[in-house]
Amino acid sequence: MLSKSECRSYLNDVKQYLNLTTFCNELGIARPHLTMFLKDYHYDHYLNVEKANLLVESIKSKF
């Protein structure tokens, strides 16, 4: 399981290549919460580590 900072780093690296909204809709993650989470560690409370890891694993499984 990745930490929140590792998830944030991975997601920020791939977000320019993917439509994260599609993955958010599939997983039931509110897109505004993901946007805030990706900005900085001060916004860690917007997304729990389980959902962040689920999003990362979902992206990795598609590619």
- pLDDT of 63 over the 90 cut: no
Structural domain count, the chain: 1
C-beta separation of 7 from 49 below 8 A: yes
For 2-12, write each residue's pLDDT tens digit. 999 999 999 99
Rounded distance, CA 60 to CA 46, Å? 22
pTM: 0.92
Arithmetic mean of pLDDT over the chain: 96
Exposed (0-12), middle (13-18) or buried (19+): which is 55, by Cβ within 10 Å? buried
For 21-60, write each residue's pLDDT tens digit. 999 999 999 999 999 999 999 999 999 999 999 999 999 9
> What range does the domain containing 25 cover?
4-62
What's at 6, amino acid-wise? Answer: E
The label of the residue with tokens 């916004």 reads 43
